[in-house]
Amino acid sequence: MTIPNSNEMEALEALIDRVGMFETIVALSVICGDKAEHIRHNWQDKVTAKQWDTASNVLANTAKMPTIQKL
């Protein structure tokens, strides 16, 4: 696993500041779902696609938390 460098972390923080935590998490959830579909369709890798689906679902559920919706 690669940890984002300081420039990438600053860019992520700027995105959260601009659109909000809730919207950022929702966007990440959508991206994970899209990646799952891409992998499933183009690589026929059901295991990896399932992992991306799981990440999408975890993020979607996190976005539903009242605390997150207030940020």
- Tell me whether residue 65 is in a domain: yes
- Tell me whether residue 56 is in a domain: yes
Q: For residues 69 and 23, is the Cβ–Cβ distance under 8 A?
A: no
- Taking 70 as the pLDDT cut, the residues of the chain under it are none
Question: Can you tell me the distance from the alpha carbon of 54 to that of 27, in angstroms, rounded to the nearest whole number?
Answer: 15
Which tokens hold the place of 29?
A: 């959830």
- Tell me whether residue 2 is in a domain: no
Q: For residues 13 and 50, is the Cβ–Cβ distance under 8 A?
A: no
pTM for the complete prediction?
Answer: 0.92
- Tell me whether residue 15 is in a domain: no
- Tell me whether residue 54 is in a domain: yes
Question: Can you tell me the distance from the alpha carbon of 42 to that of 61, in angstroms, rounded to the nearest whole number?
Answer: 27
- Tell me whether residue 9 is in a domain: no
Count of CA atoms in the C-beta half-sphere (13 A) of 58: 7
pLDDT of residue 18: 98
**Residue 25, domain extent:** 20-69
- Tell me whether residue 41 is in a domain: yes
pLDDT of residue 71: 87
pLDDT of residue 1: 85
- Tell me whether residue 44 is in a domain: yes
Report how many domains make up the chain: 1
